[in-house]
Amino acid sequence: MEEQEKKQDSREERTDNSPYHKQPRLTKRTTSKLQQHLNRGMTAFLVVAASIVFYFAFLRFGHISGVLGKIFQILKPIIYGFVLAYLLNPLMKMVENFIVKLLKGKIKKEERLKKFARGVGIFTALLFAGALIVALCNMILPELYRSIRNMVYTVPEQLNEWMERLSEMEFDDSTLALITKNVLTETTAFFENWIRSDLLRQINIWISGLTEGVISVVNELMNIVIGIIVSVYVLFSKETFAGQSRKVVYAVLKPEKANLVLHITRKSNEIFGGFIIGKIIDSAIIGVLCFIGLSILDMPYTLLVSVIVGVTNVIPFFGPYIGAIPSAILLLLTDPIKGLYFLVFIIFLQQLDGNIIGPKILGDSTGLSAFWVVFSILLGGGLFGFAGMIMGVPTFAVIYYLFQMFINQNLEKKHLPTDSAVYDDTSYVDAESGEFIHGNNDEQNIGEAQVRGKEDCEKEEEK
């Protein structure tokens, strides 16, 4: 047992010290002139070939997108399985490590112990996820049904009351009063036309497509069931898949490039895992706190509003506003005073989340500033919708990390500082020596720079 423990410790040390766990260096190898000419010719050929392929692919973009869509539909169960396995992996690992420590001396064979612990971990993770989904459905669905039914019955009446009150208001002959009157009249006419034409037409379309909707729901349920089975196989064989992937990378690429690819993969896993799982936990906590707070304040549609706030909180930065605005409008129609109370409460809740709960759970998992978070959300949402708003932040965080790694290593080669704060208005890099001059911290450097500047000006005048 002691020898096995020593071997396992040595394997863990080798794993922690492996080249792709640390940030690799971007080095260049010297090649001969003939090799350089061959590389340039091959590069030119590949660029021309890629341009031709891209041109014909652009002409057949509709066919290619259709084929990709069919492939995506076929592989949906596999995608669901990988996503589910990725989400369940932390819980499975926690249970597996606990079982291994608990039964380490009782089961002699190490392989049998690992298989048993892995099986218990997978079963516990699936059981926990299933129990959580069933409990949420039992708690949420009936209350959601009652809230939506009450909303359907009460909101039209409340709108009519508001419109009647506004129409009964006496307006003077001022320009603002006439504009307000016209806006109310046009808004009322618009809603009437929308209800009579667009809404009824959409209802007819939904009813006619009800059969197709039921079939699509059944297909999605089947895909989810198959995805659960796939996730079990993925979790059981994740080390095998990881080993095969590393083998392929080392077989195709040079060692330096392979270590770089594996390092990027490992860093991406850290960013995505920390962000997605942390954001799910954070949103669940916010949803529960919102439900407790609204119940204390005796708000209508408590569970419906809590679900909206919790689900939209998954979206960084804009999520709280996306969930709070429709909820506030719904509560304002029911009771304006309670709607104002809700706005105050949601502002307090989001401040609590942004300053205490979120940083404790997420930490600095992405390494992005507020500007780049907003940028990635807008770009991802514009390209891929709701999923892009969620996945845009960790995706951009990976791109930002790669760019930062490339820039910092180039600066280190030139013996320049990598901290952005030192590149202020008075600091610069000397053109002759390549040395970085700290303008704010060294007055002598500033004086020398001024002398060199005068000398350069005199030389230019002499020329």
pLDDT tens-digit map of 125-176: 999 988 888 877 777 777 667 766 766 666 666 666 666 666 655 555 556 6
Burial 305-335 (b: 16+ CB within 10 A, else e): bbbbbbebbbbbbebbebbbeebbebbbbbe
- What pLDDT is recorded for position 152? 63
Q: Do residues 259 and 24 touch, judged by C-beta distance below 8 A?
A: yes
- What pLDDT is recorded for position 178? 67
| Beta-bridge partner residues of 428 | 437
> Is 106 in a helix, a strand, or coil?
coil
Gap between the Cα atoms of 99 and 36, Å rounded = 56
Tokens of 452: 């060199």
Tokens of 181: 């009157």
State the DSSP string of 62-84. Answer: HHHHHHHHHHHHHTHHHHHHHHH
Task: Tell me what percent of the residues of the chain surpass a pLDDT of 90.
Answer: 6
Measured CA distances, 3 to 10, 274, 415 (Å): 10, 35, 46
Return the axis-axis angle of helices 175-193 and 110-168, rounded to nearest 10°.
120
What would the pLDDT profile of 352-388 be if each residue is shown by its tens digit?
887 777 777 766 667 777 788 888 888 888 888 777 8
| pTM greater than 0.85 | no
> Is 437 in a helix, a strand, or coil?
strand
> Is 282 in a helix, a strand, or coil?
helix
Q: Do residues 310 and 286 touch, judged by C-beta distance below 8 A?
A: yes
- What pLDDT is recorded for position 446? 43
| Beta-bridge partner residues of 437 | 428
**Residues contacting 122, CB < 8 A, separation 6+:** 88, 92, 232, 235, 236
Measured CA distances, 27 to 14, 112, 279, 402, 409 (Å): 23, 44, 37, 15, 10
Tokens of 193: 């036309």
Each of the 463 residues of the chain gets a pLDDT tens digit; together they read: 445 545 545 554 455 556 666 666 655 555 566 677 677 778 888 888 888 887 777 777 777 777 878 888 888 899 999 989 988 898 899 998 888 888 887 777 888 888 888 889 999 999 998 888 887 777 777 766 776 676 666 666 666 666 666 665 555 555 666 676 676 667 666 666 665 666 556 666 666 655 666 677 788 889 889 999 999 999 988 888 889 999 999 998 888 888 888 988 888 888 888 888 888 888 888 888 888 988 888 888 788 788 888 888 888 777 777 888 888 877 777 777 888 888 888 888 888 887 777 777 766 667 777 788 888 888 888 888 777 888 888 888 888 888 888 888 888 888 888 887 778 777 878 777 778 787 654 444 444 444 444 455 455 445 4
Gap between the Cα atoms of 354 and 202, Å rounded = 40
Gap between the Cα atoms of 436 and 418, Å rounded = 11
